Amino acid sequence: MIKVEETSVHVAGKDPIISGMAGRYASALFELALEEKETDAVKTDLDRFDALIAGSPDLARLVRSPVFGVDEQLKALTAILDKAGIKGLTANFLRVITTNRRLFSVRDMIRAYRVLVARHKGEVSAQVTVAEPLSDSNLDALKGALKNVTGGKDIDLGVKVDPAVIGGLIVKVGSRMVDSSLRTKLNAIKFAMKEAR
């Protein structure tokens, strides 16, 4: 059984991404997964659930909306988890946060959990936003470049596709962010032109 106290867990607070309520829940899950030797399995299940939320406006609404009661959310969540094959520790965790009325923050919890797993493995978490999906060779080249920048550390890379980026990419490694997207460059040019008037 997963028990989360609203006080602090020793891992929370070292990094802003794992602080607050979402950080406490993620830390509790991480410590339990570590005890059960299931950190990677839980991460895989959480990534799958996160992808389901990202790909389904209806699921995103169920997760975020306070209109749905606990019973409705639990019933829908159970069906989704069964269909997705998410069970065990991850399914129990998702049910607990639903019962505790914290499902609205699940994506923040997933992000914090990823950071904890990466830190435990000595990896660096990186989030990349691109206009279109990367090919395997581009993905490998990007991982290689990030590995060089981080002093040879392994990279836990999350890739998000956002057509609004237009071109280029946005890379966030830890708390550092490099934005070389065309959208940002065009906005800077537009701003400069307004200032020149």
Which tens digit of pLDDT belongs to each residue from 158-170? 888 888 888 778 8
Q: Which of 134, 194, 142, 195 is nearest to 165 (CA)?
A: 134
More confident residue, 35 or 179: 35
Domain regions of the chain by residue span:
16-118, 123-196
Task: Grade residue 118 by pLDDT with cuts at 50, 70 and 90.
Answer: confident
What is the residue-averaged pLDDT of the chain? 83
CA angle at 157 for the pair 156 and 159, rounded to the nearest 5°? 155
Angle between helices 57-64 and 70-84 (to 10 degrees): 140
pLDDT at 4 over 50: no
pLDDT at 3 over 70: no
pLDDT at 14 over 60: no
CA 104 to chain CA centroid, Å, is 14
pLDDT cut 70: percent of the chain above it:
88
pLDDT at 84 over 90: yes
Angle between helices 88-99 and 20-36 (to 10 degrees): 150
Residue 192: both structure tokens together = 């400069």
pLDDT at 49 over 90: yes
What's the whole-model pTM score? 0.66
pLDDT at 17 over 70: no
Cβ burial of 155 (10 Å; 0-12, 13-18, 19+) is buried
Going along the chain, which residue ranges are E strands? 124-130, 155-161, 169-173, 176-179
The contacts of residue 1 (CB under 8 Å, 6+ apart) are 92
Amino acid at 109: M
Domain with residues 16-118, CATH architecture: Orthogonal Bundle (1.10)
Angle between helices 106-121 and 39-55 (to 10 degrees): 140
